[in-house]
Amino acid sequence: MNHDAYDDNYIRSILNNVKSIAMVGASPVNVRPSYFAFKYLAQRGYDMIPVNPGHVGKALMGKPFVASLADIDRPIDTIDIFRNSSHIMPVVDEALKLSPLPKVIWMQLGARDDAAAEKAEAAGLKVVMNRCPKIEYGRLSSEISWMGVNSRTLSSKRAPIPTQGMRLSLNRTSFGGGQTAASDRAAKNKTETT
């Protein structure tokens, strides 16, 4: 798998087929990126599970925080890791102990661990690194174009405004691939400054 550029169909198949997403590093603070991503995905009908030991006893959009993946009482389709790269391998190790195994390990923008990705793929999981499911969903559904962003998707119809729990069609034709050079540059700059 080339983790530098994902085919739109690969991302599309993940977002179309998963139902539950455990977000490791979710935050109830409404100015944090994880809060926005969690809220957006929950509003699109995904069963979101916030994972953060520092917030156990609190809830995010009515969903109670759990301390670890092992504390989740149902199967998980995707583990969305909202932590920096140094914390990815322990999360993947914990995910590989779950039964049943999740289908996808997703690492947020700026997060990449090739060894953890290789380990997850060897166990049969799909892996996405340095991408945000919120952004990819918005891009593939053309919803992101409502804000004036070029989504690289072609359609003669504007995507409908979603209602609570409504999933937009991710099957719009796209061109130019899912390259996100800006996120790649941001990740590179972050690594160079640390």
Condensed to tens digits (0 to 9), the pLDDT of residues 15-40 reads 999 999 999 999 999 999 999 999 99
**Residue keyed to tokens 């174009």:** 145
Residue 167 vs residue 88, higher pLDDT:
88
> What residue ranges do the domains of the chain occupy?
8-152+163-193
Residues 80 and 90: beta-carbon distance below 8 Å: no
Indicate the residue type of 21. I
Residues 98 and 22: beta-carbon distance below 8 Å: no
Per-residue pLDDT tens digits for 83-132: 999 999 999 999 999 999 999 999 999 999 999 999 999 999 999 999 99
Q: Give the CATH H-level superfamily of domain 8-152+163-193.
A: NAD(P)-binding Rossmann-like Domain (3.40.50.720)
Q: Give residue 151's pLDDT band: very low, low, confident or very high (50, 70, 90).
A: very low
Strands lying side by side in the sheet with 78-81: 47-51, 20-24, 78-81, 104-107, 126-128
- Coil, strand or helix at 96: coil
Q: Give the whole-angstrom CA distance, residue 94 versus residue 97.
A: 5
Is 194 a residue whose pLDDT tops 90? no
pTM: 0.78
Range picked from 109-123, 143-157, 162-176 for highest mean pLDDT: 109-123
